[in-house]
Amino acid sequence: MSRYIKETPRIIVKFIDSDTEDVLFEIKDRNWMNVAELFPAATVSNLVVQEFKNRKLPKNIMVIAVSEYTLEK
């Protein structure tokens, strides 16, 4: 029987334009213990403003934590 395994506890946090579903940017290699610090509104605001210097800010943002699993044979 095949099953999926998670090879690392690390995750990717993606910031997505909620209106277009375009990935705005990613923060890679986070772990479960520190991903929560990204979710407060002030922190998300600072990250998006830094990433979008001199560009129009998206109206709606969705923050998603992504993890990869590998099929074990």
Residue 63 pLDDT grade (very low, low, confident, very high; cuts 50, 70, 90)? confident
CA distance 38 to 20: 22
For residues 68 and 21, give the distance between their C-alpha atoms in angstroms, rounded to a whole number. 20
The pLDDT value given to residue 52: 92
pLDDT tens-digit readout, 25-47: 998 888 776 776 767 888 889 98
Q: What is the model's pLDDT at position 25?
A: 93
Strands 61-66 and 11-17: antiparallel
pTM of the entire predicted model: 0.70
Cα separation, 20 vs 2, whole angstroms: 36
pLDDT exceeds 80 at position 59: yes
Quickly count: other Cβ atoms within 10 Å of residue 44's Cβ: 14
What is the structure's pLDDT at 24?
94
Q: How high is the pLDDT of residue 21?
A: 92
